[in-house]
Amino acid sequence: MNVITSDGRCIVGVLRGFDTTNNLVLEDCHERVFSPQSGVEQVALGLYFVRGDNVAVVGELDDDLEANLDLSALTAQPLKPIRHG
C-alpha cells in the first residue's frame, strides 16, 4: 500500500490492519523522501501505525511497476502539507 499523509509524507508498506476510523497498521514500511536535486531516499520504518485523521490518500501499488522503478533516478518536489481552513 502507498499512504500519503496530511503532512505530506509518502509511506509504503504492507497493510496488516485497519479500523472504522481509518487507522492503519503497516508492516515492512519505508518512507519515500522526494527531492528535486537527487533521487528518492527510502527511510526504513518497520512496523508502523498511521492515525486515521492523518491519512489523506491510500492506494494499492502495482508490484510489477514497483520492481521496474528506479527510485534513485526519480526526482520530484516534496509534497506540501494539507491546509485546512
What does the pLDDT look like over 16-30, one tens digit per residue? 999 999 999 999 999
Q: Is residue 68 part of a domain?
A: no
Q: What is the pLDDT of residue 13?
A: 96
Can you tell me whether residue 63 is helix, strand or coil? helix
CATH at 12: 2.30.30.100
Q: Is residue 9 part of a domain?
A: yes
- pLDDT class for 85, splitting at 50, 70, 90? low
β-pairing, 10-18 vs 24-33, is antiparallel
Please tell me the distance from the alpha carbon of residue 76 to that of residue 65, in angstroms, as a whole number: 18
Please tell me the distance from the alpha carbon of residue 21 to that of residue 76, in angstroms, as a whole number: 31
Number of domains in the chain: 1
Domain that holds residue 17: 2-63
Yes or no: say if 26 and 13 are a contact pair by the CB < 8 Å rule.
Answer: yes
26 exposure class (CB count in 10 Å sphere: 0-12, 13-18, 19+): buried
What's the pLDDT tens digit per position in 23-79? 999 999 999 999 999 999 999 999 999 999 999 999 999 989 988 988 888 888 888
Q: Is residue 53 part of a domain?
A: yes
Q: Is residue 7 part of a domain?
A: yes
